[in-house]
Amino acid sequence: MSGLRRPLIAGNWKMNGLRADGEARARELARRAGGADAPPCDWVLCPPAPLLPVVAAATTGSPIGIGGQDCHPEASGAHTGDVAAAMLADAGCRWVIVGHSERRADHGESDALVAAKAQAAHAAGLVAIVCVGETEAERDDGRAHAVVARQIAGSLPRGASAANTVIAYEPVWAIGTGRTPTPDDVQAMHAHIRACVPAGIDAGALRILYGGSVKPGNAAQLLRLPDIDGALVGGASLAVEDFWAIGEATR
Q: Which residues bind ligand 13P (CB under 6 A)?
A: 12, 100, 170, 175-176, 211-214, 232-236
Of 124, 125, 168, 187, the residue nearest 10 (C-alpha): 168
Please state the closest distance from residue 212 (CB atom) to ligand 13P, in A.
5
Please state the closest distance from residue 200 (CB atom) to ligand 13P, in A.
26
Please state the closest distance from residue 210 (CB atom) to ligand 13P, in A.
10
Please confirm, yes or no, whether 100 is among the known catalytic residues: yes
Query: In this complex, which beta carbon is closest to ligand 13P, that of residue 86 or of residue 144?
Result: 144
Please state the closest distance from residue 232 (CB atom) to ligand 13P, in A.
5
Question: Per the residue annotation, which of 109, 134, 138, 170 is the catalytic one?
Answer: 170
Spatial distance between the Cα atoms of 103 and 207, rounded to a whole number of angstroms: 22
Cβ–Cβ < 8 Å for 48, 82: no
Please confirm, yes or no, whether 136 is among the known catalytic residues: no
Q: Please list, residue by residue across 64-88, b when 16 or more beta carbons sit within 10 angstroms of its beta carbon and e when fewer do.
A: bbbbbbbbbbeeeeeeeeebbbbbb
Of 99, 90, 42, the residue nearest 69 (C-alpha): 99
240: amino acid identity, one letter: V
Query: In this complex, which beta carbon is closest to ligand 13P, that of residue 126 or of residue 232?
Result: 232
Query: In this complex, which beta carbon is closest to ligand 13P, that of residue 87 or of residue 233?
Result: 233
Instruction: Tell me the DSSP string of 179-221.
Output: ----HHHHHHHHHHHHHHS-TTS-TTT-EEEEESS--HHHHHH
Helix (H, G, I), strand (E, B) or coil at 1: coil
Question: Per the residue annotation, which of 100, 122, 134, 138 is the catalytic one?
Answer: 100
Active site residues: 100, 170
